[in-house]
Structure 1
Amino acid sequence: MRFRTRLLSFTIVILGMTCNAYGQASFDDGLTARYAGDLETAAQIFSDLTQENPENSDAWVQLGLTHLTLENYDEAEAALKRAIEIAPDYSDAYLGLARLEWFRGNREPAEEYLSLAGDTEDTRALRRQINATPDVKKWRADIGLGYSDLSNSLPSWEQVDVALGYQFSEDTSATIGLQYANRFNISDVYVDAGLTHTLKNRTLLFASVGTAPDGDFRPEFQFRAGSEFPLVSSKDRGVELWTRIDASTASFSSGDVQSLGAGLQLRLHNDRYRIGANLIGLSDEAGESRSGFALNGEWQATRIARLLIGYVDAPETSEGITVDVRTVQLGCRFDFEDRGFQVFALSEERGAYDRTGVVFATNWRF
């Protein structure tokens, strides 16, 4: 009996030592995988450890840092904040959160977390990096002026656009805009608000809603949404193929109009050249289906100057009716560090009359 009791005690001790060694080895395996760049394996190991012991602050920190390297920012934030709940003075967790906010483009939160991370070589290095980077200008203002002459002695068109945008993070921004347009001596005021967000795979999502109360030629209500994303990307060759899909619905005084567009754009020589084509489908105010296309090209002529050309043969809803329009556009855009300028000239055939016009626009960040 005494022998069996001793054997049982010895077995329990061995099992306890084995479990402890296994747990320590699993943590070490996670570190080894993370430092070797096998991030998916590391994330799985640290996730398992946090499930086995939800109070393991070390595993939570390593899980957060692994997700940070994987650019899974939401998962990284949750793990690092969980570590701080367990160990409020865990400096590595605060340093991880500081890096996370810095990668997101949020300078102030990054500096706040960094102040809680203590004074180490790593914190000093990140602080030097932040201090060496100019403040991100999150506001952007746009102003555009347009003037057009019409054939057949018709009154000219004038248009003024103003917009104000704010960048919440590196990936998300919002814009509000106002447009005053005068056509045939009739004026409309159109206001809209839009939101854009870029996913980690560079997919751009956008949506906007606008209205022109009692509009004569601008929509009384309009909603638009779409996406742009890379289909093929070869950084070594400097070539990318992007696609764009967008849809809209609008209510005019004469009826409702829906449109759907899809296109491809080839970007060459590290985006120095762009060639694009779009197909456009539209259901007009009478419920009839119409279609058209658009072609465009861009050339980065100098470091700051980009030349643009476009041709459109597609239906357009104006003055409450949908007409087939052929447009040729030529323009140039100048981009400086915090300011940009654009000028466009256009020529249109609109059936009942022709239009020639010019547009000047500028934007600046602050």
Structure 2
Amino acid sequence: MTISGFLLSAALVLQAPTYETGVDARLDGRFEEAAEILAEVAQREPANADVFLQLGLTLSALGRFDEAEAALQRTLDLAPDYTDAHIALARLAYYRGDLDRAAELAAALPDDQTPPDLRARIDAARESPARSPWRTDVFAAYSSLSGPLSPWREAGVALGRRIDEETSLTGLAHWSRRFDDEDVYLSLTYARGLPDSGLAYVTLGGAPQADFRAQAAIRGGYESPTAPGGDGVQATVEASASRYGVGDVFAVQPGVRYLARSDGLRLGLRAMIYLDETRALQTGWEVSGELRASDRARLIASYTDAPDTESGRTSEVQSAALGLRYQLTDRLGLQAGLVHESREAYDRTEITISANRRF
């Protein structure tokens, strides 16, 4: 090698990011920068377990959990007894909500090497009412209509079961009485959390011998993941197909939510696009908000200007809603709501009361 070539190689080595600069960036909270540096160092030093540990910790802080797990597993491939890597994997499982695996990993650690807060946090989360496998909801509603029209009445019950950390099933029976006609709508919803990829769900339902509700319907949707901590913007989309006595109705509803969990704020905007029973295209929109009023109370409000199909025919409706959700205990919650609708033929005002119980 020539002297100039040697000097150039030495200069490149001196300019290359180092393990120490990557660790410093992580400790300073500059996680994106740290991830880039440590990934480059890992390529140069593929047998350095410390580099992969620090890379895994950095990726975990960024919410890139799959990549973080791969880096931590690589650490253990190189150093199977590396306690910090085992602890990091247990914390990662906790962050992902896989509490059973987190508990299993934490239990395998020696007592004198386990952070005292780790097992306590995992145990508290596993005992939380939110992890109760069953949930039941009951609701009732009464609507007064303008003019001489008779009131509407509704009642229903839902029963949900969490199958595992990511999957749940919910059944619903909903009785409605409108204009002297009665329907009972039955549905089953399957929801599945996708690791690092959000939530997907599908609902099948229908009203046997329907007078005004859908005879058969299928609905599916997706909610994108949020950043670690639950803050930020979330995209949503829902599509449905329903068969009524007067024809088929198809709908697509894309939306976006802004979540600021630390401030107890949630805002939503949703577009509604319908192909109605006459094959006419109709559109609408909805804006909604939720605000934490106290540790146990939340205020809910929405305004909608969109087609409505639940009465058997698609019609334009403008509605405003206000509600209060109150958590009486960790397992019991109540909600009350008031809705006012303006339709072409009449106005409707609805009062709704509901309760939910986890067990």
Matched, 1:181 2:175: yes
Partner residue, 2:338:
345
- Deviation of 1:206 (Å): 4.8
Structure label with greater radius of gyration: 1
Partner of 1:195: 191
Alpha carbons of structure 1 residues 53 and 197: separation in structure 2 relative to 1, 3 Å: same
- Alignment of 1:225 onto 2:221: yes
Aligned partners of 1:132, 1:99: CA distance in 2, in Å? 14
Q: 1:208, CA displacement in angstroms? A: 3.0
SS across alignment from 2:351: strand
Which of 275, 282, 295 is the equivalent residue of 1:290?
A: 282
1:334 is aligned to 2:326: yes
Shift of 1:279: 4.7
TM-score, length basis structure 1: 0.71
Say which of 243, 249, 268 aligns to 1:252: 243
- Aligned AA for 1:358? I
1:309 Cα offset (Å): 4.1
Counterpart residue identity of residue 321, structure 2:
Q
Distance 2:242 2:274 in 1: 13
Does the aligned pair in 2 maintain the 1:241–1:264 contact within 8 Å? Answer: no
Q: Give the one of 47, 53, 66 matched to 1:74.
A: 66
Query: 2:355 matched to which residue of 1?
Result: 362
Structure 1 residues 54 and 330: alpha-carbon distance in aligned structure 2, compared to 1, 3 A threshold: closer
CA offset at residue 191 of structure 1? 1.1
How high is the sequence identity, in percent, across the aligned residues?
28
Q: Is the 8 A contact 2:159 2:171 kept in 1?
A: yes
AA in 1 matched with 2:182: I
Deviation sequence 1:229-279 (CA, Å, 0-9, x none) = 99xxxxxxxxx9967653422121333323344667788997567776655
In structure 2, how many angstroms separate the alpha carbons of the residues matched to 1:113 and 1:354? 59
Kept after mapping to 2: 8 A contact 1:340/1:364: yes
Q: Do 1:188 and 1:218's aligned partners in 2 also have CA atoms closer than 8 Å?
A: no
Query: Who is 1:235 aligned against?
Result: none
Name the CA shift for 1:333/1:118 in 2 (closer, same or farther; >3 Å): same
The answer to whether 1:118 aligns with 2:114 is no
Tell me by how many angstroms 1:130 deviates.
4.2
Alpha-carbon distance between aligned partners in 2 of 1:241 and 1:100, rounded to the nearest angstrom:
21
- When normalised by structure 2's length, the TM-score is 0.73
- Whether 1:105 aligns to 2:97 is yes
Instruction: Give the aligned residue type for 2:241.
Output: A
Go from structure 1 to structure 2 and tell me whether the alpha carbon gap of 1:214 and 1:134 turns closer, same or farther (over 3 Å shift).
Answer: closer
Q: Deviations 1:21-58 (Å, cap 9, x if unpaired)?
A: 99xx9444444444444444543454345445644433
Q: Is the 8 A contact 1:226 1:246 kept in 2?
A: yes
Q: Structure 2 vs 1, CA of residues 311 and 102 (structure 1 numbering), >3 Å: closer, same or farther?
A: closer
Shift of residue 81 of structure 1? Answer: 1.9
Separation in 1 of the partners of 2:319 and 2:33?
A: 55
- Measure how far apart 1:186 and its partner are: 3.4
**1:166 corresponds to:** 162
Residue 71 of structure 1 aligns to a residue whose secondary structure is coil
| Secondary structure of 2:170 counterpart | strand
Unaligned runs of 5+ in 2: 2-9
| Number of equivalent positions | 337
C-alpha RMSD of the superposition: 4.3
SS, match of residue 81 in structure 2? coil
Runs of 5+ in structure 1 lacking a partner? Answer: 1-7, 9-17, 231-239
1:284, CA displacement in angstroms?
Answer: 0.7
Which amino acid in the other structure matches residue 334 of structure 2? Answer: F
Q: Give the Å deviation of 1:97.
A: 0.6
CA distance in 2, matches of 1:167, 1:310: 32
User: Of 148, 157, 162, which aligns to 2:153?
Assistant: 157
CA contact (8 A) 1:140 1:166 kept: yes
